[in-house]
Amino acid sequence: MTGTATLLHDIQALAAALEDTRDQMEAGLAADLTGLDTRVAALCAEAQSARGDAELAAALERLLPTLDAVASALTRQRETLAAATEGRHDPHTARQRASAAYGRGTTAAPGDLPPDPPATPSRQS
């Protein structure tokens, strides 16, 4: 059996990793969730063997909102990818992100852009 201090440290490390994962996913990046289920299950099994430890129970309970946030971010990413695959409007396309970054309210198709300014003749001496 692992000591309470070690379990608390492992739970805090998992919480930090989950928060980083959520932030990456919210930024539109893919997150590697490989082994997350195994890691959570191992922590829960260890904590279960220390039944009655209120501090461990509280630490695990504090993980729930973070796990829910990661699940929500994953669902949004999946929906966005499904929309893009089906050709539906994708709010995270590079063009829309660039438009938002430059303060343009709507995304224009290439044909909707204003024409280039007329060329001015160069002066020749």
Q: pLDDT tens, position by position, for the chain (125 residues)? A: 468 889 999 999 999 999 999 998 888 888 888 998 899 888 888 888 877 788 888 898 999 999 999 999 888 888 888 877 877 665 555 555 566 667 654 444 545 545 555 555 555 54
- Indicate if the alpha-carbon torsion angle 40, 42, 45, 48 is positive or negative: negative
Residue-level pLDDT at 89: 62
Q: Residue 4's closest CA among 56, 62, 61, 64?
A: 56
Residue-level pLDDT at 68: 93
Residue-level pLDDT at 46: 86
Contact indicator for 47, 53 with CB cutoff of 8 Å? yes
Residue-level pLDDT at 38: 92
What residue spans define the domains of the chain? 2-90
DSSP-based helix, strand, coil % in the chain, nearest 5: 65, 0, 35
**pTM exceeds cut of 0.85:** no
Q: Residue 43's closest CA among 66, 76, 22?
A: 66
